[in-house]
Amino acid sequence: MVADEVRNLAAKSAEASQSTSALIRRSIATVSQGTQIADATARQLEGVVEGARGIEETINGIAADAQLQAEAVEQIQEQIGQITGVVQTNSSTAEESAATSQELSAQASVLRQLVKTFRLR
């Protein structure tokens, strides 16, 4: 009877050992699979980080280009202001020239009338 008990305990111990061994093998396989998944996730995250850096560089480039365009627009506005000033000056000068021309024309008319009053002998 003691021998039967020892055999039963030995069989149960062997079963428990096999069960424990199977659990350890499954745990090792699961850990290995988890490690592979973690490595794949890390590689994908590195790709995401690189993509984000690329996007950041693109956005910085766009911001720099926008700044250059804003400066160019400002320069164009300044030049348009200068052109407007020149056009206004030219317009004023043209008006003054027209008035002076009319005055000279009127004075020439008066001078013609005066010259007509003189007679050559």
- One-letter amino acid at 14 equals A
Q: What is the dihedral of CA 56, 60, 62, 68, to 10 degrees?
A: 180
Q: What is the pLDDT of residues 82-102, one digit of tens each?
A: 999 999 999 999 999 999 999
pLDDT at 9: 82
pLDDT at 121: 66
69 or 116, higher pLDDT: 69
